[in-house]
Amino acid sequence: MEAAAPITPVINIEQEKKEILNRYRGLLRSSRRKFDDDDKKMIRKAFNVAVEAHKEARRKSGEPYIYHPIAVARIAAEEIGLGATAIVCALLHDVVEDTDITLKDIEGMFGKKVASIIDGLTKISGVFDASSSLQAENFRKMLLTLADDVRVILIKLADRLHNMRTLESMERTKQLKIASETLYLYAPLAHRLGLNNIKTELEDLGLKYTEPEIYSDLDKKLKDTQAERARYIHRFIIPLREALHEQKIKFRIFGRPKSIYSIWSKIKNKNVPFEEVYDIFAIRILVDSPPEQEKADCWRVYSIVTDFYYPNPDRLRDWVSTPKANGYEALHTTVMGPNGQWVEVQVRSERMNEVAEKGYAAHWKYKQGGPEHTEDPLEEWLRKIRESLSNPDSNALDFIDDFKLNLFADEIFVFTPKGEMRSMPVNSTALDFAFDVHSEIGTKCIGAKVNHKLVPLSHKLNSGDQVELLTSNKQTPKADWMNFVVTAKAKSRIKEFLKEEKVKQIALGKETLQEKFEQNKLEFSDVFVKRLASFLNLSDVSELYYRVGMGNLSTKELKDFIKVKDKKIEPQVPAQTLEQLVSNKRGKSDFLVIGDSIDNLEYKLSPCCSPIPGDDVFGFITAHEGILIHRVNCPNAIELMSNHAYRIVKAKWTSQKLISFLAGIKIIGIDKMGLVNNVTQVISNELNVNMRYISFDTNDGTFEGNIIVFVHDTAHLTSLMKKLEKVDGVIKVSRVDTNQ
């Protein structure tokens, strides 16, 4: 019997046209802004241009491509609250890159502002392109557009959110790459721009594709406990609702579950099971107050909550008096609710809530139409980003690392001697503060007085510290300063200064080397200078000049070189550049197969995550160590896939002979007589398992054991862990990296 031919889906063009029109009307209805006739005409015109430009194109799912720009425009309008210009740009965001329409055409049809935003979006469309080794540089270009128009970033985030929502139709490797870079950069960026809802959804979707089993397990647990949670929230709210009505406060009160990603972070960081994450939901109370009364009303509500429920004094967060750097304002407290459960309560005004949910766009709406805030933390942060970007020479990857530091960093508030308050990231030092005040002060800083006590530059600051800076004209930045500064501004200024110093030292070194050559009657030519660099195993001539400039060339080294100067000295550098290595390895085979048919490719198992057969893995091409194999859930995976996607190769295990791999197991439980003996008995009885290391610590009736064993694959390891869980007294068994 012949196999049936695959059925090609029949496309109903008329049905699709109706659906496109429905989606367009939905976009107009969903907008939070009122449009005048000119706005409506411009949006309709952009829609018509986009439909025509993308008429032949389809997405991976088979849908018409135009669904994507309409969805991005809807997110920009409905979920971020942007206006007509941004909607036009979102509808057109792919036309210049994907069709024959040029920027000049866009400018002619829609004006300079729209063309400039589309230009920004087109420039950054190649960010993280798998074939490019310049992902970081492209991301840097994207952030440069912050200086021109923040709407570029907001539309880019809307674009990324829709791509994440429709990631299902992509192949697994693409899903991993896109989800990794979303967790690495886009979610933190949404957080910093105050787009809380978008940040939360990006994180949850990122987890769904990077850790599908963990995501579905937590999702199921949340759904299973939903009815129980709803009953508890109802019981918690009843007395509060009555008291708030009595006080004649206009309010809304409801329970809100934590995101799956934040629950997973808590489980991972605090090493507790799902059942012990006490703040799986938060109670939110929104007060409808005029701007001048907001702060007082929030504290009144806090007072009512603590009349009924005992607060945890260490868990009060006052972002009403000092908003976060992304504009977030609220009071958070954790109180002891019924049945001995801790419950987080968030109190904000309706205005604060809109700024928290809609971020930058709402922030500006209120700034223009509402009260003038003397401090504008969001604008201050954008100013710092523009400053970081102003140095054109900074290395793009370093820049991304520095930029990330300031995305998710918690804040402290410190004061100048005159009482001016400044917001700094947690772990900032006195030197970070000096650079924050002014670059010139940073470069000349020799120390500081914190709360009137003399401290070194590396002193870590705490919230509430008052800092007086001490400077000297003789001071210059030192290389070791990089070890204790954390802010992007301090890092980039120190690097800049050290780079300038290196250029001066290279020039001095060249002069000095010429003199030394002349003294030794040696011709100062490119040939001999290069040979000396090779003789000293230096990568290039500039490194040689720098070393000489720093006074690190001994007379003996020069004399030894003169003896062999006429022999050709081969430089000790890799035979292939990293780019050649990457293209060779990627070109050989789409799949790097680890196991019997390895094709003689050199590979090592990465010590940072110790993969074993059965783990979901990928290969990472390094310059000197061949291919390193990492687990997909390795702590470093997200960064590698985001910044170096072009060096990632697919990898999979084939059938293994009985080779053993090291795996670490952590056991936590209650200390009982004979427990260690029972645990070792289980391991010894497991077929072909040998122990390499075992240690047990007991503390006041509890114990923690670390065991390193040889296993064949994940199935073998899982079987052993399940047996260990059944040992009387064992509470939790988990896998740990063997290098810990």
Q: What is the pLDDT of residue 286?
A: 92
Q: Strands of 671-729 (E only): list them.
A: 690-699, 702-711
Q: Report the pLDDT averaged over residues 663-671.
A: 84
CB 414 within 8 A of CB 466: yes
The percent of residues in the chain predicted with pLDDT above 70, rounded, is 79
Q: Report the pLDDT averaged over residues 690-704.
A: 77
- What interhelical angle do 675-685 and 714-725 show, nearest 10? 150
Q: Report the pLDDT averaged over residues 390-416.
A: 59
Q: What is the pLDDT of residues 64-74, one digit of tens each?
A: 888 888 889 88
Give residue 372's pLDDT band: very low, low, confident or very high (50, 70, 90): very low
Q: What is the pLDDT of residues 625-657, one digit of tens each?
A: 678 888 888 878 877 777 676 677 777 765 544
577 has pLDDT over 70: no
Q: How far apart are CA 526 and CA 85, in angstroms?
A: 58
* Domain at 661-736: CATH code: 3.30.70.260
Q: What is the pLDDT of residues 475-525, one digit of tens each?
A: 888 888 888 888 878 888 888 888 888 888 888 888 888 888 778 777 777
Q: Which is higher by pLDDT, 624 or 52?
A: 52
Please identify which of the residues 98, 107, 468, 737 carries the catalytic annotation.
Answer: 98
The domain segmentation of the chain, as residue ranges, is 14-210, 219-367, 409-476, 496-564, 578-653, 661-736
Q: What is the pLDDT of residues 15-34, one digit of tens each?
A: 878 888 888 888 888 776 67
Burial of 307 (0-12, 13-18, 19+ CB in 10 A): exposed
Q: Which of 407-411, 512-516, 690-694 has the lowest mean pLDDT?
A: 407-411
* Domain at 14-210: CATH code: 1.10.3210.10
Q: What is the pLDDT of residues 188-246, one digit of tens each?
A: 888 877 788 889 999 999 999 988 888 998 888 888 888 888 888 889 999 999 998 88
Give residue 531's pLDDT band: very low, low, confident or very high (50, 70, 90): confident
Q: Report the pLDDT averaged over residues 586-605.
A: 50
Q: What is the pLDDT of residues 83-120, one digit of tens each?
A: 888 888 888 888 887 777 888 888 888 888 888 888 87
Q: Which of 187-201, 320-334, 559-573, 689-703 has the lowest mean pLDDT?
A: 559-573
Q: How far apart are CA 289 and CA 304, in angstroms?
A: 17
The percent of residues in the chain predicted with pLDDT above 90, rounded, is 6
Domain 409-476 in this protein, CATH class:
alpha beta
CB 377 within 8 A of CB 310: no
147 has pLDDT over 50: no
Q: Which residues of 256-286 are buried (b: 16+ CB within 10 A; e: fewer)?
A: eebbbbbbbebbeeeeeeeeebebbbbbbbb
Give residue 347's pLDDT band: very low, low, confident or very high (50, 70, 90): very high
Closest CA to 124 of 133, 106, 137: 137
* Domain at 219-367: CATH code: 3.30.460.10
CA 46, chain centre distance (Å) = 33
Provide the whole-model pTM.
0.63
Q: Give CA torsion, residues 302, 303, 307, 311, to 10 deg.
A: 50
Q: Is 540 a catalytic residue?
A: no
Q: What is the pLDDT of residues 423-478, one digit of tens each?
A: 788 889 999 999 988 888 898 998 888 888 888 888 999 877 888 988 888 888 88
Q: What is the CB neighbour count within 10 angstroms for residue 46?
A: 25
7 has pLDDT over 50: no
Q: Report the pLDDT averaged over residues 297-305.
A: 92
Which amino acid belongs to residue 646?
Answer: Y
Give residue 388's pLDDT band: very low, low, confident or very high (50, 70, 90): low
Q: How far apart are CA 271 and CA 330, in angstroms?
A: 28
Give residue 287's pLDDT band: very low, low, confident or very high (50, 70, 90): very high
Cite the DSSP H helix spans in 61-211.
67-74, 84-91, 95-98, 103-110, 112-123, 135-144, 151-165, 172-181, 187-192, 196-210
Q: Which of 265-269, 590-594, 713-717 has the lowest mean pLDDT?
A: 590-594
Q: What is the pLDDT of residue 422?
A: 80
Give residue 123's pLDDT band: very low, low, confident or very high (50, 70, 90): low
Q: Is 97 a catalytic residue?
A: yes
Q: What is the pLDDT of residues 597-614, one digit of tens each?
A: 444 456 778 878 778 777
Q: What is the pLDDT of residue 301?
A: 92
Secondary structure of 358-388 in HEC code, one letter for each residue: HCHHHHHHHHHHCCCCCCCHHHHHHHHHHHH
Give residue 38's pLDDT band: very low, low, confident or very high (50, 70, 90): confident
- For the chain, the average pLDDT equals 77
Q: Which of 351-355, 630-634, 691-695 has the lowest mean pLDDT?
A: 691-695
Please identify which of the residues 52, 97, 523, 560 carries the catalytic annotation.
Answer: 97
The residue whose two tokens read 């009349």 is 307
142 has pLDDT over 90: no
14-210 and 219-367 have identical folds: no
Which amino acid belongs to residue 292?
Answer: E
